[in-house]
Amino acid sequence: MTELAPTWIPPVVPAAEERPLTGSERFLGVDAGVGDFWRFAMGDLRSNTTRGLLAEFLVQCAVGGRGVREEWAEHDVTALDGTTIEVKSAARLQAWPQRRAAVPRFGGLRSRIWTDGAGRADVATHHAQVYVFCLHTEIDPRAYDALDLDQWQFAVLSGEAVRAQGCASLAWPTVLKLAGEPLHHGDLDTAVRACRQV
């Protein structure tokens, strides 16, 4: 009987030390800085990817979270009390031309967790303790301002409530049916704490 060679498992390389950038750093070999790159990559806050990052930042500001966003983390924001939060965003207006305002829907409620050494899990799960849904509500392209928090509405659901729906996405009306009236940014911290305690 032939003995099988053991499967080679690559060593886990530790992540580089977190060093938040200020935007004033310069590239070597080109006349540009990190601030120029940020303007290039995230200059349009209406784009889906950038709006999602902005929503995560707004939630972190509300709950007093710290640190730099981790691309491969199991959740988007960690509150000061340790509560894990998944942030979902949608908008009535998109970066491309539209005939009418979009019907907001929040996808990606389930995901496959990444673990060092093991990679992605086989099964997608709902794994955050709290879910925060962020909707940019403006429907007039001329008035659109992602930096105006009066144009945003928020809703908070526990992980248990989201899991009970058994789905990978929720429409905004369904979210409000479960969470109640939409919240202002200033109400988020209290709502997240209350949701976590339940």
For 22-76, the pLDDT digits (tens) are 899 999 999 999 999 999 999 988 888 999 999 999 999 999 977 788 877 788 9
Quick: pLDDT tens for 158-182. 999 999 998 889 999 999 999 999 9
- The region of weakest confidence among 83-87, 101-105, 108-112 is 108-112
Mean pLDDT calculated for residue range 116-133: 76
Better-predicted residue by pLDDT, 172 or 197: 172
Picking from 42, 39, 63, the residue whose alpha carbon sits closest to that of residue 53 is 42
What is the distance between the alpha carbons of residues 147 and 26, in angstroms, rounded to a whole number? 27
Looking at residue 108, its pLDDT comes to 83
> What is the residue-averaged pLDDT of the chain?
86
User: Helix or strand or coil: residue 151?
Assistant: helix
What is the distance between the alpha carbons of residues 166 and 181, in angstroms, rounded to a whole number? 22
Backbone angles phi, psi at 90, to 5 degrees: -150, 170
From residue 105, how far is each of 24, 78, 120 by CA, in Å?
Answer: 37, 24, 25
pTM, two decimal places: 0.84
User: Helix or strand or coil: residue 53?
Assistant: helix
Q: Which residues of 4-28 are buried (b: 16+ CB within 10 A; e: fewer)?
A: eeeeeeeeeeeeeeeeeeeeeeeee
Looking at residue 167, its pLDDT comes to 86
Picking from 51, 52, 58, the residue whose alpha carbon sits closest to that of residue 186 is 58
Q: Is the pLDDT of residue 106 over 90?
A: yes
pLDDT band at 103; cut points 50, 70, 90: confident
Looking at residue 71, its pLDDT comes to 79
Q: Is the pLDDT of residue 6 over 70?
A: no
Looking at residue 67, its pLDDT comes to 79
Residue partners of 193: CB distance under 8 A and separation at least 6: 79, 81, 83
Sort 117 into a burial class: Cβ within 10 Å, 0-12 / 13-18 / 19+.
Answer: exposed
Mean pLDDT calculated for residue range 89-94: 90
Looking at residue 122, its pLDDT comes to 64
